[in-house]
Structure 1
Amino acid sequence: MKPRAAMIFAAGLGTRMGALTADRPKPLIEVGGRPLIDQALAHARDAGADPVVVNVHYRADQLRAHLAPHAVRIADETERLLETGGGLRAALPLLGPGPVWTLNSDAAWTGPNPLRALAGAWRPGMEALLLLIPRSRALGYAGAGDFDLDATGRLARGTGYVYTGAQILRTEGLAEIPDPVFSLNRLWDRAAARGRLHGLVHDGHWCDVGRPENLALAESLLREGAA
């Protein structure tokens, strides 16, 4: 079953962006002449996602106003941040049944639509399919890497690839976690233990826009991608 609904994560505090998020939420920071959230929305719409759900917390009124013309559903986390796992579970009544796309809103992309690429590679038996970029090509990324990818497309924790923030995920396992606030990493680890955590390498470029110094990198990436 292919995904139908998409969840865009937009509820983070954006503290790493410093003064840039003093008066606005991170998804409204502009890169390439438009807010970050707009590129995420464009990917979801182009992939045929319906419904599209966006969670909000910090300066939620600004995001609500910006999203009002876009016919999206809002998952309200203003009272409590739930992290990715708790936030996705709380949004399930808005998303509906079946596997879902999830997409972070703090990245810049070139190349194929990440959500379309994931849908084309989604297969029965997968519990999660994560879109990856080799660590050597992860612009603006300062970490040690997230996963290693074997010849069958299965993932294990490692350093060779970076998770880009786009995936398809079966949501049934969310009910097995009792905590209200938790990361999707817990679902991934369970899927990996069953051999059902898979990865797909993005055929394009990607930049983490989580820090102020990465804005120039993202702008340059988008200019080159449009050339």
Structure 2
Amino acid sequence: MTGITTAVLLAAGEGSRLRGSAASKPLCPVAGRPLIDHALAGLAEAGLTRAIVVLGYRAADIEAHLARRAWPLAVETVRTPDHRRPNGVSVLAAADALAGEDALLAMCDHLVSPALYARVAAAGSGEGLTLGIDRRLGHPWIDPLDVTAVATAGDRIDAIGKGLAPYDAYDTGVFAIGPALLAALTTLPDPQLTDGVRLLAAQGRAGVVDCSDLDWIDVDDAPALAKAEAWRVALAA
């Protein structure tokens, strides 16, 4: 792995589509362990030594959960000013804790093979950011109506967004980011992470690293949760 040793883990959203399984999405169990536990363990296995967890909805519950055990990496929390605002606001909530440091940016509700975290971290942020992409179009774990799609040009992002056409890859939700992304987000009145990526892509500063051989799943609703359960149970068998 390169010099990236810090992760920013976004865990601020309401997760309304999983409300039947857990009051808080980060605490939703998958194969007997909350999603946030899977994420923190995976980051540590990938070689990260520090995680900044951005909280919002039911933050106190998650803070209490984090405080109850020791973790294999240093864990600290920050709170987004308003979890109902776009996820770029949550990214910016970690800015002071990062203090200009590059980081691996990940989503708490994405169950990810640790090797994927490690590959993106090793790729580094380049001139702005690097996104882990998956070119397995039509993969049964992907919800085509919800996934963020990516159109690439060589090793760069050409376009990104939900409902994008045409596209040649999926956004895995794992990025290596530098200060340039935070600077781009601060220029937006209601910053979405995807909009910040678009700004850097327009400047040729948003790269990609192919992670098509590594597994991940966005655990956003009951069908995805069932697929994630089956995956983790099979791994443990």
Counterparts in 2 of 1:59-208, with a 5 A limit? Answer: 59-68=58-67, 69=69, 70=71, 71-77=74-80, 79-110=82-113, 112-122=114-124, 124-125=126-127, 127-133=128-134, 134-137=136-139, 139-143=141-145, 146-150=149-153, 152-157=154-159, 158-176=166-184, 177-179=186-188, 181-202=190-211, 203-208=213-218
Residues 176-208 of structure 1, C-alpha deviations (whole Å, 9 max, x = no match): 534464111122111111222111222222222
Quote the offset at 1:41 in angstroms.
Answer: 0.4
Q: TM-score, normalised by structure 2?
A: 0.83
Residues 67-99 of structure 1, C-alpha deviations (whole Å, 9 max, x = no match): 113441111136554432222222111123222
Say if 1:73 and 1:82 are closer, same or farther in 2 by CA, change over 3 A: farther
- Same amino acid, percent of matched pairs: 27
- 1:36 equivalent to 2:44? Answer no
Say if 1:184 and 1:79 are closer, same or farther in 2 by CA, change over 3 A: closer
Counterparts in 2 of 1:14-53, with a 5 A limit? Answer: 14-21=15-22, 24-53=23-52
Q: TM-score, normalised by structure 1?
A: 0.86
Quote the offset at 1:153 in angstroms.
Answer: 1.3
> C-alpha separation between the residues in 2 aligned to 1:138 and 1:101?
26
Partner SS state of residue 136, structure 1: coil
Answer yes or no: is the 8 Å Cα contact 1:99–1:170 preserved in 2: yes
Structure 2 residues not aligned, in runs of 5+: 160-165
The residue identity in structure 2 corresponding to 1:41 is L
Partner SS state of residue 19, structure 1: coil
Say if 1:138 and 1:162 are closer, same or farther in 2 by CA, change over 3 A: farther
Say if 1:123 and 1:174 are closer, same or farther in 2 by CA, change over 3 A: closer
The residue identity in structure 1 corresponding to 2:195 is R
Aligned to 1:5: 6
> C-alpha separation between the residues in 2 aligned to 1:215 and 1:171?
34
Answer yes or no: is the 8 Å Cα contact 2:197–2:206 preserved in 1: yes
Answer yes or no: is the 8 Å Cα contact 2:54–2:93 preserved in 1: no
The residue identity in structure 1 corresponding to 2:75 is V
Report how many residues are paired.
222
Answer yes or no: is the 8 Å Cα contact 1:7–1:54 preserved in 2: yes
The residue identity in structure 1 corresponding to 2:112 is W
Structure 1 residues not aligned, in runs of 5+: none
Partner SS state of residue 64, structure 2: helix
Residues 34-88 of structure 1, C-alpha deviations (whole Å, 9 max, x = no match): 1111111012222333431111111112100111134411111365544322222
Quote the offset at 1:138 in angstroms.
Answer: 5.6
